Structure 1
Amino acid sequence: MLLSISRSIAAKVALAFSLVMVTLVVSYIVMSQRLDTIGVAMNNVTEISRNTIAIIRINKDIIEMQRDVSVYSLSGSDAVFEKIDENFQDIKIRLDSLSDVDTSEVERQYISSLAMLVDELGQNLEGLTSLYKSRSVLIDDVLEDIYQTAITELYNLNQMSSSVENELLLVEEMNKWHTLHRNAWLFLSKKDYLKRKQVTSVLKEIASSRLFGKSEESLRLSDLGKEYQKYFLKSIQINRNYFNLVNVVMAGNAIEFSTLANTLREHSQLRLQKIKEHANESIITTENILNILSIAIILYLIFLAFFLHVHITKAITLLTGSFSRFLSGDLSASIHHTSRKDEIGVLAQAASRFRDMSIDLDKEKQAAIQMSKVKSEFLANMSHEIRTPMNGILGMASQLSHTDLIAPQREMLNIITSSGESLLVIINDILDVSKIEAGKIELEQRPIGLNALLKDIELLFKGQATAKGIQLSVRTCPANQNIAFVGDETRIKQILMNLLGNAIKFTDHGEVALTTHAEVDSDDKMTLLFSVTDTGIGIDPDNIEKLFGAFAQADTSITRKFGGTGLGLTITSQLLSLMGSKLEVESDVKKGSRFFFEIETEQCSLAVPDAQAEKNDTSSEKADYSNLKVLVAEDNKTNQIVVKGFLNKLKVGSITLAEDGEQAINICKKEVFDLIFMDMQMPIIDGLKATLEIKKMDDYRHVPIIALTANVFEDDKKQCEEAGMCDFLGKPINLMQLKGILDKWSRQS
């Protein structure tokens, strides 16, 4: 057992921490007993504190209720009494909860006394409402009715009086009743004690008054005065009982409750003090025990830490340093402790193996980098080398098409042009796949007019569909709306062209339809659903997954019949993936297929074209280039002939040729040109360096220099822009592209 422990770090650490655990368990058993005592004390402290707080809150509520009672005695508001009753019910609930708490005998007696006072207070509240209602009936109803009856009698007598003297006497009598009732109300309701004497005095005057002698009206008024005096005295008695209940009985109850509550609180605080003292003694004892155990554990942990540092941490630090140097690329670092028999030795041996594997992987990585570089250079060179003769083939074919040819010659020329364009499509597909795999495609985010986009695509394929005798339809939903959205117009057009081209290729009769459905949310978010449907040969469901593999078609016999590289759908699928979308397929054999995808984008508005720009565009067909002086820097003789032929076709006034960058620089030093076409790859000095030198000349700071090259990668375009070129014309060149460049830059020059 000792041998196994000596050969295992895990066993050593487990043994060391087992001793720590044993110490902690013993400490726990010793301390749990002490902590139980402290816990009981703390519970008692908490309970007493909670009871004390409850008593203080009840006392506060009693005082608040007494204040509300005073308010009620003056206003008689139902809302105030509801608040009083609600407060009283809360007091009873809190006091009942105190009765359920386990307290001392003395405290229970105090709580019982408080409960009796609260019960008495509840009875007083019931009497309070009864007295208030009786008081209100006497003051607001009985006395008011007597007063109104007397006033009515006097008013009727006044109406029947025929002499001014009698009317004055009646008015004077009315004023006495007004004064009487006003003073009585102030005394009874507002406690204005000075008004009682005035009430008594006015009642005597009314009793001694003899209007019209001993007539029936005079006697009736006298009886009303006596009746008013009777109920006034009764109101005084009820008022006295009411305010005695409010200000003496209930206030006394509140004071007695506060006294008992304070005594109970003091008694609880004394008990709390004793519990605290006992708890403090336990805490001190516990603290002493903990200090002893802590010192023992600290000493043991210091010894353990020293052992771990010397035996484990230091070794791991050395291994970590070696690994860090390995990861940073330094594989010459030494490895320690390879002879140890424990886990550290295993790690050291693994580090040695890791170093050997890293050396091998580094060699393979360098080889892979070199292969990737060779592949990139090969694709660039292949693109340049293939496009250069393609420019000559298609360029010369284009120029030849403008000469007088007999029918067989024109047919052969069309075959040459068609074959060249097909080969160019294949080259572009291969380059697109390479760029996507290398992650060199960046999507643009520019406004796109949906209707214009679909119109361009329809014009591209209408002739092809008509030639095959099939119907081509392009429609949007909702129709007749100018929908604009943000996206990469070139790539979306490429996707739709691939899908439409395939649909027309594999459809011999019927219809090919491109439909677009747009949905716009309230925050200008837009979802576009593009769908291409055909009535062609269809696809077997088992072969659908093969569609998106590079260089693959669903059926190999299709390649022999229809041709193609099989890259179109691969490029389409990968471009949609970059846009966060996916190409979906629904197909039935011999019935047709439906390819569709959704794009999440944003709605936008298109800029209104400038009127002058439109005028220039419409007049570009009649543009005059006879005064234009153009320099063409191109080392390939065939391409020189092609470009010069196109420029002559467009009737450019002056055309100068340079066979390399050095010639172009020397010519620019002697002459000033309106426009320069610059090839990128030329002997002696290439087009990029030549552009940099020419742009340093004062006469050429604002002269447009157009890149004329077979290099069509994004990196190539970026290099051209950094060198100072303002546009990019890729090979093979066609007449319309060249005319567009002249229209765009000849006006600016």
Structure 2
Amino acid sequence: MSKKVHFFDFSTKRILSNDLSILDSDRLRLLYYGLVLSFFTLFILLADVLYQHHTILSIIIGVLFVASAMLFKFLTYKPRWTVISHLILIVGTLANLANIFIAIQNVNVVTVEAIIMILLFSFYMLGQRFGLIYSLVNIIPVVTLFILQYNNDYIIDLKPEIVDESTTIIGVFASFILIIFIHSHFYSAFIRTIKELKETSDKQSGLNVEFEKAIEKAQKSGEAKSDFLSTMSHEIRTPLNAVIGMSDLLITGNPRADQVENLEVLKFSAGNLLSIVNDVLDFNKIESGKLIFENIKFNLVELMQNICGGQMMTAQTKGLLFKLDVDNTLSKKMVFGDPTRITQIVFNLVSNAIKFTAEGNILVRVTCIEDRNNRVNVSFSVKDTGIGIEQDRLDMIFEPFIQESISTTRQYGGTGLGLAIVKRLLELQGFKIKAISKPGVGSEFSFNMEFPVSIEVYAGSTHHNQPQWIAENSETLSAIRMLIVEDNPVNVILMKKLLSKWNIVPSIAENGERAVELVQYGNFDIILMDLQMPVMNGFDAAIEIRKMSNPQKSDIPIIALTASALFDIRERVQESGMNDYVSKPFKPNELFEKIQTLVAKLPAAATLKYSDSPVTPQ
């Protein structure tokens, strides 16, 4: 609206622009054509009053004539319609008052029309507030004049000028033309505005429909992505379960020395593949916003020892010196937090440090930097003497699927998701990761976390070496009647071999429907339930079992064995009535502990109650 034009350019094209609303465009047009019409009307009136030798009227109309010309040029030079509107109203009001109080000293039809014109113009051009102001400024003096004349109090020295009928006719006609022009112009603008609003509303409705379709499409796309990840996870992790499981069984079966090395390579490669799959799934879970943090009690010192225990051996095989330094003030404290996510964060940082360090040392330090009565602020730091990172790439390495350079990816491998996962996990909890690095010298990654402290004092770990614990207690599971619901024959073989080491001979059901039949007519102490199966899946099978009228059948402990990547898997397992779940590929020790825990909760004679109707293992 402030667009400048050439001084001698009188066209409306330069003062109007596409970004103006219909109303503002019509206001500019009204000013343009209204001023042109006023200019010619005032020229005729000026000639008429000059011919009649009306000095005061000639001065008033002359001022209006010159003002209309100047304001027209101002409009075409700088189209600031609000300023011009105010100037027109001020000049018009002063001229009208001078005409009423000085020139003719009366109110005739022309002055009334002039007041009406000022009222319309002020409301249409400047809105309600200024419309009221200019209306009062013009009406109050007229009413005052009427009162003074009624009381015969209005007397000035100047003799009023008497205009003839020709001047009155010209003034009345010109006023009517301007009033009609203002009304018709704004009525047209009003109609066009309504049409534009309707068109906009129709377009908005169309956009809303398209937006709803886009949302629905995005939801379907998200569901398809989730289903795809779940399917791919199941299809990749299921064979990995067999590879890792069989490798464990072969390693514990007293193989020859040359076979041990081959089996370790096989297990290591399978573990790397599983790590890549888990990274992709974990990152997708984080980005979807469906990650839920636990708040359970644990000892930070014990957790760090467990995290770094296996990593120390990996570092030693590379000839690296690995040191874990944990603040002694944390040794007796039990804190609340999510140990699984802390493990994931520290494990990724330590794994990176070992991966990118060819020689030297790895230092993991955990320091209590603030200890209050019920909270502790802990600093975690992982420092290495590895290849280091260029300063300008420190921020980039926290982006997904990005490593320090292409050569780094080729030389060291990996998905580039580890640090991205670390950063996202910390940010979701309100913490930040810091990185200090120098190429050829090494890197240090650090972050601070705050934990609520339990009033309970940590008494030390009561767990022994897990494989030895299993060996010592495997006889306690020999009498357990177990049903395995699994459609994959390779996994069935793996489970049978694994359970044989625990002196368990299981029954097998190839799908959920068969599992329900076996439970209905047989007797079991625990069920290991796969989730994705033909005929009937594990969720539906668990629901059917929980509906059974016999409480000793409906209350059978069920552990879900899942290779799925669904984000809500834990909730779905709980909703279907299952007691717990183990992710494939599972750790034998973890599965054994869960079985032992659930069976221990059964009544003392539960495993002997149905000995009169056994089910033959398949």
- Counterpart in the other structure of 2:232: 382
Q: Is 1:690 aligned to 2:541, yes or no?
A: yes
Report percent identity of matched pairs. Answer: 33
- Counterpart in the other structure of 1:719: 572
Q: Is 1:735 aligned to 2:585, yes or no?
A: no
State the one-letter code of the partner of 1:684: V
Q: Secondary structure at the match of 1:603?
A: strand
Q: Would the alpha carbon gap of residues 696 and 342 (structure 1) be closer, same or farther in structure 2, given more than 3 Å must change?
A: closer
Counterpart contact for 2:485–2:511, Cα < 8 Å = yes
Provide the rounded CA distance (Å) in 2 between the counterparts of 1:431 and 1:603: 32
Q: Is 1:436 aligned to 2:436, yes or no?
A: no
Shift of residue 566, structure 1, vs aligned partner: 0.9
Q: Secondary structure at the match of 2:298?
A: strand
- Counterpart in the other structure of 2:217: 367
- Counterpart in the other structure of 1:710: 563
- Counterpart in the other structure of 1:666: 517
Counterpart contact for 1:631–1:656, Cα < 8 Å = yes
Q: Secondary structure at the match of 2:394?
A: helix
Q: Would the alpha carbon gap of residues 345 and 10 (structure 1) be closer, same or farther in structure 2, given more than 3 Å must change?
A: farther
Q: Which of the pair is proportionally richer in helix?
A: 1
Q: Would the alpha carbon gap of residues 491 and 28 (structure 1) be closer, same or farther in structure 2, given more than 3 Å must change?
A: farther
State the one-letter code of the partner of 2:532: Q
Counterpart contact for 2:486–2:529, Cα < 8 Å = yes
- Counterpart in the other structure of 1:657: 508
Shift of residue 530, structure 1, vs aligned partner: 0.5
Q: Is 1:680 aligned to 2:531, yes or no?
A: yes
- Counterpart in the other structure of 1:351: 201
Shift of residue 376, structure 1, vs aligned partner: 1.1
Q: Deviations over 1:424-472 (max 9, x none)?
A: 0000000001101111101111222111111112212111111111111
Q: Would the alpha carbon gap of residues 467 and 521 (structure 1) be closer, same or farther in structure 2, given more than 3 Å must change?
A: closer
Q: 1:583 aligns with which of 433, 439, 445?
A: 433
- Counterpart in the other structure of 2:482: 630
Shift of residue 631, structure 1, vs aligned partner: 0.6
Q: Is 1:21 aligned to 2:47, yes or no?
A: no
Provide the rounded CA distance (Å) in 2 between the counterparts of 1:9 and 1:385: 77
Q: Deviations over 1:621-660 (max 9, x none)?
A: 42121111111010111111111111111212x3100101
**CA-based RMSD:** 3.4
- Counterpart in the other structure of 1:458: 308
Counterpart contact for 2:331–2:458, Cα < 8 Å = no
State how 1:503-582 maps to structure 2 within 5 Å: 503-520=353-370, 522=372, 524-582=374-432
Q: Work out which of the two has the higher radius of gyration on C-alpha atoms and give 1 or 2.
A: 1
- Counterpart in the other structure of 2:176: none
Provide the rounded CA distance (Å) in 2 between the counterparts of 1:740 and 1:666: 28
Provide the rounded CA distance (Å) in 2 between the counterparts of 1:714 and 1:10: 64
- Counterpart in the other structure of 1:255: none
Shift of residue 738, structure 1, vs aligned partner: 2.3
- Counterpart in the other structure of 1:4: 30
Shift of residue 687, structure 1, vs aligned partner: 0.9
Provide the rounded CA distance (Å) in 2 between the counterparts of 1:449 and 1:27: 86
Q: Would the alpha carbon gap of residues 604 and 734 (structure 1) be closer, same or farther in structure 2, given more than 3 Å must change?
A: closer
Q: Secondary structure at the match of 2:586?
A: coil
Q: 2:553 aligns with which of 680, 700, 706?
A: 700
Q: Would the alpha carbon gap of residues 514 and 619 (structure 1) be closer, same or farther in structure 2, given more than 3 Å must change?
A: closer
Q: Would the alpha carbon gap of residues 357 and 669 (structure 1) be closer, same or farther in structure 2, given more than 3 Å must change?
A: closer
Counterpart contact for 1:450–1:482, Cα < 8 Å = no
Provide the rounded CA distance (Å) in 2 between the counterparts of 1:29 and 1:522: 78
Counterpart contact for 1:338–1:346, Cα < 8 Å = no
Shift of residue 688, structure 1, vs aligned partner: 1.0
Counterpart contact for 1:429–1:568, Cα < 8 Å = yes
- Counterpart in the other structure of 1:219: none
Shift of residue 486, structure 1, vs aligned partner: 1.9
Shift of residue 617, structure 1, vs aligned partner: 12
State the one-letter code of the partner of 1:388: T
Shift of residue 509, structure 1, vs aligned partner: 1.7
Q: Would the alpha carbon gap of residues 617 and 409 (structure 1) be closer, same or farther in structure 2, given more than 3 Å must change?
A: closer
Provide the rounded CA distance (Å) in 2 between the counterparts of 1:561 and 1:695: 53
- Counterpart in the other structure of 2:103: none
Provide the rounded CA distance (Å) in 2 between the counterparts of 1:351 and 1:391: 58
Q: Would the alpha carbon gap of residues 619 and 431 (structure 1) be closer, same or farther in structure 2, given more than 3 Å must change?
A: closer
State the one-letter code of the partner of 2:197: L
Shift of residue 351, structure 1, vs aligned partner: 2.0
Counterpart contact for 1:660–1:686, Cα < 8 Å = yes
TM normalised by structure 1 equals 0.55
Q: Would the alpha carbon gap of residues 579 and 645 (structure 1) be closer, same or farther in structure 2, given more than 3 Å must change?
A: same
Shift of residue 565, structure 1, vs aligned partner: 1.1
Shift of residue 618, structure 1, vs aligned partner: 9.1
Q: Secondary structure at the match of 1:419?
A: helix
Shift of residue 356, structure 1, vs aligned partner: 3.4
Q: Would the alpha carbon gap of residues 16 and 414 (structure 1) be closer, same or farther in structure 2, given more than 3 Å must change?
A: closer
Provide the rounded CA distance (Å) in 2 between the counterparts of 1:542 and 1:434: 27
Shift of residue 484, structure 1, vs aligned partner: 2.9
Counterpart contact for 1:457–1:493, Cα < 8 Å = yes
TM normalised by structure 2 equals 0.66
Q: Secondary structure at the match of 2:332?
A: coil
Q: Deviations over 1:707-737 (max 9, x none)?
A: 0111143411211111111111111133222
Provide the rounded CA distance (Å) in 2 between the counterparts of 1:27 and 1:525: 75
Shift of residue 478, structure 1, vs aligned partner: 4.9
Provide the rounded CA distance (Å) in 1 between the counterparts of 2:433 and 2:461: 40
